[in-house]
A and B are shown apart, each in its own frame.
Chain A
Amino acid sequence: MSVTSGASKRTTRWDDAARARERVLLDTMAAEPKDSPAYSRARDELVTIHLPLVEHLARRFRDRGEPHDDLVQVGTIGLIKAVDRFDPDRGVEFSTYATPTIVGEIKRHFRDRGWSIRVPRRLQEMRQHISQATAELSQKSGRSPTVAELAEALDLSEEEILEGLESAQAYSTLSIDSSGGGDDDSDPSSLTETLGSEDDALEGVEYRESLKPLLAALSERERQIIMMRFFQNMTQAQIAKEVGVSQMHVSRLLTKALLELRSGLTEDAF
């Protein structure tokens, strides 16, 4: 981002101040132990001051059928990763480093949502409306809305809502474009943590040894959601709240992950 015109001098000065603050925070993170309050305060502030960057990047993806709030949420996850991984010694600006991570996370969200598959615009918009209305109605009533409630709120027929819901899933299109490969968002510590509790959770499953590598091949978020739903018996609504994504997104990730597991698992279930 080069700034040349005179009108943006003030911006440049502000940037200088922000950059200086950023430097202080990065130095604090480098100097303090990771479990110290000073470290987490610096980390939080770094995240907070770069939220406008996430907003800005998320806006680049508007009109693609995903709610802006969802994009900001996943973009923020990218920002947090960037904060945690940034190495000041490499000599690049933090924003330069963070941008591809944030954009990557947003793109991954689209990939997760299966937008690589062409969906008619009408259905894309309907999904988006359903997702928004679901969030709003859940907020109001404290539970997931019914199809009738959604139909009334959106002035659509129940049939149209059902069609929208089915299209929001990826039942028939999965595993074709799913990379299946590991994901870059599993930092080693959280992976070990997850795998440890997975061992306990999978205790009763006969084919857990063949299940484990399949679970490991899922993205961190999918694995987390699978464990929460199937082994900790959390509801989709609870998971949505815990993970910070919409319930429809949880539903879709669950379906997608389950299909991947199913196609990979050669258990003899009978």
Chain B
Amino acid sequence: MRIELPAASGYLVLARTAVAAMCARLDYPLDRLEDVKLAVDEACSLLLSDTDADGTLSVAMAPGEDGQLNVAVSAVTRHGKTPKQSSFAWTVLSALVEDVSASVDAGQVSITLSASRGDSVVVS
């Protein structure tokens, strides 16, 4: 599943809603769902900060086995570089999902988030 959004933060609600619905389909517990939503929001915002206003942000979601979910957020950015792993944003992303990676292909920067349903954490 893939959505293309104008590069403006006001449209991120669409990305969040889509990813939340996908997590719900995959039976994610609520805290994981909120984490993935926050991660997608963060990844999108990160790319937006380096994208021209008339650009496009693309969000692709691919559910895998056992509740695995890969979300790739990409945009043609000004620098055409992957985010620094020493940035705060990257630290945040790494904490929110199981795996984060980034790549560049002809000026198009992609951040890929891999999430899973997570362990059944004992709450009480």
Q: Is B4 in the interface zone, CB < 8 Å from A?
A: no
Q: Is A111 in the interface zone, CB < 8 Å from B?
A: no
Alpha-carbon distance A162/B17, docked complex (angstroms): 8
**Count of interface residues, chain A, beta-carbon cutoff 8 Å:** 48
| A227-265 CB contacts (< 8 Å) to partner B | 229-231, 233, 235-238, 240-241, 247-248, 251, 254-255, 258, 261-262, 265
Describe B's contact surface by its main secondary structure: helix
Q: Is A166 in the interface zone, CB < 8 Å from B?
A: yes
Alpha-carbon distance A175/B105, docked complex (angstroms): 34
Which residue of the partner chain, among B17, B21, B29, B41, contacts A146 with CB atoms under 8 Å? Answer: B29
| Closest CB in chain A relative to B75 CB, distance in Å | 12
Interface range on chain B: under 10, 10 to 19, 20 to 34, or 35 or more?
35 or more
Q: Is A144 in the interface zone, CB < 8 Å from B?
A: yes
**Count of CB-CB pairs between chains A and B under 8 Å:** 134
Q: Is A143 in the interface zone, CB < 8 Å from B?
A: yes
> Cβ of A233: which chain B residues have Cβ within 8 Å of it?
95
- Type the 1/0 row for A204-230, where 1 means its CB is closer than 8 Å to any CB of B: 111110010000000000000000011
A265 lies within 8 A of B88 (CB): yes
> Cβ of B10: which chain A residues have Cβ within 8 Å of it?
172
Which residue of the partner chain, among A162, A172, A206, A251, contacts B31 with CB atoms under 8 Å? Answer: A251
Known: A235-B121, A237-B123, A251-B34. A148 touches B27 (CB 8 A): yes
Q: Is B103 in the interface zone, CB < 8 Å from A?
A: no
Alpha-carbon distance A262/B124, docked complex (angstroms): 33
Which residue of the partner chain, among A144, A207, A251, A258, contacts B87 with CB atoms under 8 Å? Answer: A207
A265 (CB) vs chain B CBs: closest residue: B88
In this complex, the member of B28, B31, B86, B123 whose beta carbon has the largest number of chain A beta carbons within 10 angstroms is B123
B17 lies within 8 A of A261 (CB): no
A-B contact pairs, 12 of them (CB 8 A): A146-B29, A146-B30, A206-B87, A237-B123, A247-B30, A251-B31, A255-B38, A258-B92, A267-B89, A269-B46, A269-B49, A269-B90
Contacts A138-B123, A144-B121, A171-B16 given; 5 further ones with Cβ under 8 A?
A147-B30, A205-B87, A241-B123, A248-B30, A270-B77
